Structure 1
Amino acid sequence: MTVDGGYADFFGPQVPRTDDGGQTATFALASAAYRDNPVEEIKKADNEWHQTTVNPGRSWATIFRPNLGEAFSRAVADRMLGSGRKPLIQSFGAEPQVVVEHCLAANGIRKARDNKLTMISVVCGLLFLPGTLVWLLGFQIRTTVAKAENKQAGALGTAVLVAIAALAVLFLVKMPFSGFWAWYARAAVLMPVVGWFWAKRICESTARDLRERWDGLLSGSGVGAKVPEAVPSNPGETAAEQLRQSLAKLGAEQQSNSVFYAGPKGILGMGTRWGSWQLAENLVPADPTREIHPFRSWDVVKAVHDQLRMLERGPLNTGGFTKPSIRHWIVTPIGENAKAVSRPEGTDVEAYQVKSHAIQDICNKQQFGAGDRHYLGVQWTLWDGQLVITMLITVTVLHETLRIEVTGHALGPVNSLFTTKPEAPSKEVAKSFKPWETRKVMLPLVTANEVVRLAVRAPLTWYPPLLNWLGGTIALPEPFGLRHAWADQPWRHRFMADDALRAAAPVLRVVHSAAIRVLEENGVDTEKFGTRSAFLSTAVQDPTPGKADLYNA
């Protein structure tokens, strides 16, 4: 796939199949675009290294505050498709393009709703502004007071709204003036109420649609994201073509072989390093009368690469490894608290991919001092994308010492916030004649305050900066990548932890076996390498994951 290629590269939104065994994490993240929870709940998904910031907006304009789905879908779409955006971190175990398409689809559904609400706001609100302002004042007072923990304050807020309604009825019955203004005053009292009922029907219909998509994604029904604006129907549609290219660019960056090491945070996107095993011995000729046949680090890496392809095969028919992804990675070091990354550029990079000859040069030459480093990675995406296991291998030769290092990285499941299904609003109340027992009472899907909030926000959606300034936004954790930003540790899940720990020993032994074979072919005495390898084979069976990136062992 090329960034600026023709329509054959990318044409329209790509909907993943539900039977490909790796979409749980993708759909869980995508479901956030359709949620109607309070925006503050996104903080529940923060992990040790990445925190989302909720910007509350103006304190006196809480009626403009977005919910979780509105803020999430807008923030993700802007961050991942915006012009001049900063580089992204790959989302291993998920498809960011699918998540972005669902964010665009959710924005489209809300835009259609807001267009209708804007019309209602103009006809029933703006034309009768005096009455609208009085009603809004009452709702704002009720909302503000109701947030207080004191129950008496909440009752007072409801009483204020009832008082305004009573005054409105009294105003209609005993009009202080006559003529045109009398009829206008009556309409100013009634039309906002009529508009509210009209808007409520539209809001409920849209809420049901959004919740069905939310539930469908988490139930595995394969809800597709409809983004017609991403499919240009003619060459003159520049906006659609730009969106199509942005999605194609996102897909290309996801396939990049360049990653970033951020100190204790580990390799961004792959998770922290939980284990490290190093084999380092002198290169001594097997025959003292002959010199070692010259070879390079790449020769050892190439042999290891070929041998790793055999991991899914075994002497017994007992299941075993699934087919892994084996790739050469270029790792760039960044600061622990860096807020942005910069991908390699130049003639050695094409469509975010470092070319093969450049990878070999880095592997053979950049082993000491500043610069990028080469790692050979074997990666498994398990548990439908909820667990990503990565084993990285690097080979270095300094003076007469050959060092082969194998490190284990694990990225856990997405936070449970993204896997919770929608529940119908309800509350427990005491029974009338049996107060010691309770019963569940179903509440409206869309409350009165929610209808007012949506109707007031709708006219401002045409200019998002003003709406964001009033209601607030969420700031995504940087450097941003969808998958690692909200990932939990896998060690709380027994079977996931077992899978990560069990993968280390076979990979380590395959790496050592392939490396020792290359050494033997080039006339190196491998006795010490074999002894050291046996020792590491024992050490790798330690059942406890550590924090290798903290160097506190």
Structure 2
Amino acid sequence: MGAVVTDGFDFSPGAQVPLTGSAGQTAATHALASAAYRDSPVADILGANSDWHKSDVKKGRFSLFEPNLGEAFARAVQVRMLGGGRAGLIQSFGTEPQAVVEHCLAASRIRKERDTRLTVVMVLCGLLFLPGLLLWMGVFQLRRTLAGAQNKRAGAAGTVLLVGLGALAVIMLLKLPFSGFWGYYIRGMIVAPVIGWLLAKRICESTARDLRDRWDSLLSGGGVGAKIPEAVPGNPNETSREQLRQGLQKLTAEQHSNVVFYAGPKGILGMGTRWGSWQMAEELVSKDPGKEINQFRSWDVIRAIHDKLKLLERGPLNSGGFPKPSVRHWIVSPVGENAGSVSRPEGQDVDNFQVKGHEVQRICNHQQFGGGNRHYLGVQFTLWDGQLVITMMITVTVLHETLRVEVTGHALGPVHSLFTSKPSPKTVTVAKTVRFWETVDRTLPLIDAPEVVRLAVRAPFTWYPPLLDFLGGKLVLPEPFGLRHAWADKPWRHRFMADDALRAATPVLRAAHAAAIRVLEENGVDTERFGNRSSLVGGAVQDPSPGRADLYDA
């Protein structure tokens, strides 16, 4: 059912990314992937936090080393999803997490190539003239610190300090008390960092345009491919490439796992909170007095419901209707509401993150009361290009003489609007020279002076990212982590998405009830009460407003 993760060497090109994702999932995937190419402040992502899942930004020692959103997002995601010994991941329904991770790797590769060139510039124009470099860096760090203070005058003071240093540099170049080697060195110490800044600016501008083009292409439907040749091993000795390829393969296999986690009020992680719950529960009574009913199990009912749900796309009228749904058997494992991590089951009944069929059947028939995992049959619709995921979960339990068919609705909304915003040119509004009462927007360069300094200062440290995290800070992802649900909005704020979620409930409920009643009739059960109860529940499901079924008012 999922990709097989092996330890042996495989020459297959596991890191090639198709230009378009799977049907119905491209918009959400591309929106999340675009974050890897962004150049906005990293703190912007804090506004995209959902009610239950909140990312954070850990501050570093020096603001001059702090990453932007794309740098922090790309590193955090690839470390969390590909790192050795990582905790379990939550499935990202409606997206392709491997494609997002590959775009993060591609963005990091582009920046690494830029940083290599910047490092050469830093060595030639900075390291050889280290006192001057430290002096200019100190001024920019002071200006950045003051500009970030609440007192805006402090930022102006930093600018004045920078201008003053420039004037002092000019004076020293004209009238220097030293001559010979030290005179030339001091002049070079002042001029070389400025020349290096000019070279670095050209390098940074070129890379910024490339990153922005990829950002815009993803959100415009172009589906630019992620180029990561370091994930395609060429021979068995390239262990790092092989480990990366296996990490991507493991990520895809975990995405297709049939185990999900229920976290109390947070609902089933990755599927969204439970917005509705409907139960049909009645006594099992023989339709022939004096004759016992035939023995059957919960699995027999579930299997009939499964076959009925596979036909949801068919209808008596040619009206479009449902797209082809995904109907799967799920094992739901309970975790705490504030659980910091999840772990997937292991053992002889699990193969490649998949609970085997015989174990699924056993859980369905026997683990209906008390501790342990539970079985659910899920029908899932991925709509709006992956922006809306509707999941209806069905469970059948038999306790003593009572059979219960429970249907619950889950809805995962679109990714936050932060991820769907396209790049816009940097502009400033200024007054016209002559007609000063009128204003005009002037386009600014993509990279300004402080940004060039920040990138140039960070470049030599990219060879060891943990040190860069210590100096500049990093993005802390919410746990348990899954790409899709971490930054999902509620679907109820979008009228058509809310309508789709509400409309899906009634057909699924009636299909489940019809299949269950048919099995009961075939096994000699009096279904009159079940039919009456089904009609009552069928009326209740048409309530036009969603609720909060996971919040018990007790």
1:79 aligns with 2:80: yes
CA apart distance, 1:232:
0.4
CA apart distance, 1:141:
1.9
Range 424-433 or range 161-170, more displaced: 424-433
CA apart distance, 1:13:
2.4
The 1:519–1:18 alpha-carbon spacing in structure 2 relative to 1, beyond 3 Å, is: closer
Provide the C-alpha distance between the structure 1 equivalents of 2:180 and 2:425, rounded to a whole number of angstroms: 48
1:366-422 Cα shifts (integer Å, max 9, x gaps): 000000000000000000000000000000000000000000000000000000000
1:322 aligns with 2:323: yes
Q: Match of 2:10, as an amino acid?
A: Y
1:298-313 pair list within 5 angstroms = 298-313=299-314
CA apart distance, 1:159:
1.0
Provide the C-alpha distance between the structure 1 equivalents of 2:37 and 2:150, rounded to a whole number of angstroms: 29
Alignment correspondent of 2:176: 175
Alignment correspondent of 1:355: 356
Range 110-119 or range 14-23, more displaced: 14-23
Alignment correspondent of 2:135: 134
- Where do 4+ consecutive residues of structure 1 move more than 6 Å? none
Alignment correspondent of 2:58: 55
1:291-311 Cα shifts (integer Å, max 9, x gaps): 000000000000000011110
Provide the C-alpha distance between the structure 1 equivalents of 2:285 and 2:268, rounded to a whole number of angstroms: 34
The 1:197–1:10 alpha-carbon spacing in structure 2 relative to 1, beyond 3 Å, is: closer
Alignment correspondent of 2:118: 117
CA contact (8 A) 1:18 1:221 kept: no
Residue 553 of structure 2: SS of its match in structure 1? coil
Provide the C-alpha distance between the structure 1 equivalents of 2:271 and 2:253, rounded to a whole number of angstroms: 18
Which sections of structure 2, spanning at least 5 residues, go unmatched? none
CA apart distance, 1:226:
0.3
Provide the C-alpha distance between the structure 2 equivalents of 1:296 and 1:79, rounded to a whole number of angstroms: 42
Provide the C-alpha distance between the structure 2 equivalents of 1:9 and 1:250, rounded to a whole number of angstroms: 16
Provide the C-alpha distance between the structure 1 equivalents of 2:4 and 2:11, rounded to a whole number of angstroms: 10
Which sections of structure 1, spanning at least 5 residues, go unmatched? none
1:33 aligns with 2:36: yes
Residue 341 of structure 1: SS of its match in structure 2? coil
The 1:289–1:6 alpha-carbon spacing in structure 2 relative to 1, beyond 3 Å, is: farther
Provide the C-alpha distance between the structure 2 equivalents of 1:263 and 1:166, rounded to a whole number of angstroms: 64
Q: Match of 2:5, as an amino acid?
A: V
CA contact (8 A) 2:24 2:382 kept: no
Provide the C-alpha distance between the structure 2 equivalents of 1:328 and 1:155, rounded to a whole number of angstroms: 63
Q: Match of 1:117, as an amino acid?
A: L
Alignment correspondent of 2:248: 247
Alignment correspondent of 2:263: 262
Alignment correspondent of 2:17: 14
CA apart distance, 1:10:
5.9
1:226-281 Cα shifts (integer Å, max 9, x gaps): 01000001111111111000000001000000000000000000000000000000
CA apart distance, 1:16:
4.8
Provide the C-alpha distance between the structure 2 equivalents of 1:371 and 1:301, rounded to a whole number of angstroms: 19
CA apart distance, 1:135:
1.1
Alignment correspondent of 2:5: 3
Provide the C-alpha distance between the structure 1 equivalents of 2:224 and 2:178, rounded to a whole number of angstroms: 57
CA contact (8 A) 2:66 2:473 kept: yes
1:171-210 pair list within 5 angstroms = 171-210=172-211
TM-score (norm 1): 0.98
Provide the C-alpha distance between the structure 2 equivalents of 1:281 and 1:372, rounded to a whole number of angstroms: 24
The 1:533–1:9 alpha-carbon spacing in structure 2 relative to 1, beyond 3 Å, is: farther
1:451 aligns with 2:433: no
1:394-543 pair list within 5 angstroms = 394-543=395-544
1:93-145 Cα shifts (integer Å, max 9, x gaps): 00000000000000000000001111111110011011111111221222222
CA apart distance, 1:9:
6.8
Provide the C-alpha distance between the structure 2 equivalents of 1:532 and 1:208, rounded to a whole number of angstroms: 63
Residue 549 of structure 1: SS of its match in structure 2? coil
1:415-460 Cα shifts (integer Å, max 9, x gaps): 0000000011001122233343221011111010000000001111
Residue 126 of structure 2: SS of its match in structure 1? helix
Aligned length: 551
Provide the C-alpha distance between the structure 2 equivalents of 1:239 and 1:247, rounded to a whole number of angstroms: 12
Residue 333 of structure 2: SS of its match in structure 1? strand
Provide the C-alpha distance between the structure 2 equivalents of 1:168 and 1:38, rounded to a whole number of angstroms: 32
Provide the C-alpha distance between the structure 1 equivalents of 2:358 and 2:13, rounded to a whole number of angstroms: 28
CA contact (8 A) 2:15 2:102 kept: no
The 1:344–1:9 alpha-carbon spacing in structure 2 relative to 1, beyond 3 Å, is: farther
Q: Match of 1:36, as an amino acid?
A: D
CA apart distance, 1:179:
1.2
TM-score (norm 2): 0.98
CA contact (8 A) 2:11 2:233 kept: no
Provide the C-alpha distance between the structure 1 equivalents of 2:405 and 2:275, rounded to a whole number of angstroms: 17
Provide the C-alpha distance between the structure 2 equivalents of 1:85 and 1:25, rounded to a whole number of angstroms: 24
The 1:368–1:28 alpha-carbon spacing in structure 2 relative to 1, beyond 3 Å, is: same
CA contact (8 A) 2:76 2:477 kept: yes
Residue 331 of structure 1: SS of its match in structure 2? strand
Percent identity between the aligned chains?
68
CA apart distance, 1:149:
4.5
Provide the C-alpha distance between the structure 1 equivalents of 2:529 and 2:105, rounded to a whole number of angstroms: 59
Provide the C-alpha distance between the structure 2 equivalents of 1:194 and 1:449, rounded to a whole number of angstroms: 15
Q: Match of 2:41, as an amino acid?
A: P
CA apart distance, 1:19:
8.0
Q: Match of 1:506, as an amino acid?
A: P
Range 493-502 or range 128-137, more displaced: 128-137
Alignment correspondent of 2:372: 371
Provide the C-alpha distance between the structure 2 equivalents of 1:11 and 1:214, rounded to a whole number of angstroms: 23
The 1:127–1:331 alpha-carbon spacing in structure 2 relative to 1, beyond 3 Å, is: same
1:156-167 pair list within 5 angstroms = 156-167=157-168
The root-mean-square deviation of aligned C-alpha atoms, in Å, is 1.2
Provide the C-alpha distance between the structure 1 equivalents of 2:155 and 2:488, rounded to a whole number of angstroms: 38
Range 177-186 or range 490-499, more displaced: 177-186
CA contact (8 A) 1:263 1:335 kept: yes
Provide the C-alpha distance between the structure 2 equivalents of 1:189 and 1:125, rounded to a whole number of angstroms: 10
CA apart distance, 1:8:
7.4
CA contact (8 A) 1:25 1:94 kept: yes
The 1:16–1:503 alpha-carbon spacing in structure 2 relative to 1, beyond 3 Å, is: farther
